[in-house]
Amino acid sequence: MSGNPRKVIDRARLNERQLSLLKRVAEGDDLSGDESLGDRASAYALSNRGLIKTSKRGGVFTAAITGPGRARIASEQAAAEAQQPRRSVGSGAPSASKRRAPDATVEIANARAAQAKELMAKLSVQSTFRVVQPTEDELATWRKVVDFAKRNGFVPEGKRLEKNITSRKDLAIMLLDGAHPNTKPATPSAGMPTVRVPETLRACHPVVAKLRDDERRLLMPKLQRRRCLLILQAVAAEAQRRGHRVKDEPVATDRRACTTATASALVTAPSEWRSTGMGSRCVSLR
């Protein structure tokens, strides 16, 4: 047989970028931030292999690790360890489990720890830290610092770190109260009643129907708007069941004012719940 042999590419193996991204998702990064836009192609490649699940529900891209994904990380680590040279038993050489990490690895970890400590010190004074129009390399470095802080106990109890890109292309790193909205609670809160969200808007409350039919209010993508209306219907029905009155609140006719009005959710009073529209993320009841 003549000619050069064709190079065989093992498509079952993950490249370094894909494996790094898979580990990030396994550690809790849902890739929803603007700084993860460049990772979407690799995320879809991992999703096609069943290693992660991706979703664009409500217009927001998110990724979550799967069982096969965790198994793949374990197998990749085992394969990497198997490729390391073994020393004969009794040679006096330390075992792999006791072998000291390479100096370069230790230096990187120490640098990350120092950067994470400095970041948290700044956030303890001011809850938002901004990096003005960072380069791609700077963005990657700050992402690693934030991830290091999250994984190694630098974030205070009851707080969370979030990062996003502003309209000016600045990187904003924020120290916020509470768990991330996407974090699933281990168990439902004791004593908290569950309100079932309906699947349709048939025979909905008049206030919800009025919101539904007014295109100037709840200005957002179609799927998010429908989800908001369903949640409002669930809240309105539960409010009536508890003996409250639910009524509409007039809004300004100016389009910009209407957009502003949709930001508030529900205003509660001892005897009535009033609706003035709702944002796209959550319902707040007090």
Q: What is the pTM of this model?
A: 0.36
DSSP structural state of residue 184: P
User: What is the per-residue pLDDT across 68-120, written as a single tens digit (0 to 9) for each?
Assistant: 888 888 888 777 776 666 555 454 555 555 566 566 677 888 888 899 999 99
**135-164 residues labelled b (16+ CB within 10 A) or e (exposed):** eeeebebbbbbbbbbbeeebbeeebbbebe
The model's confidence at residue 129, banded by pLDDT at 50, 70 and 90, is very high
Given this model, what pLDDT does residue 74 score? 83
Strands of the sheet containing 272-275, edge to edge, are 245-248, 272-275, 266-268
Q: Of 203, 280, 187, 192, which Cα lies nearest the Cα of 237?
A: 203
Counts of helices then strands in the chain (DSSP H, E):
8, 8
Quote the CA–CA distance of 266 and 246 in Å, as a whole number: 10
Quote the CA–CA distance of 43 and 62 in Å, as a whole number: 10
Quote the CA–CA distance of 112 and 118 in Å, as a whole number: 10
Residue 33 pLDDT > 80 = no
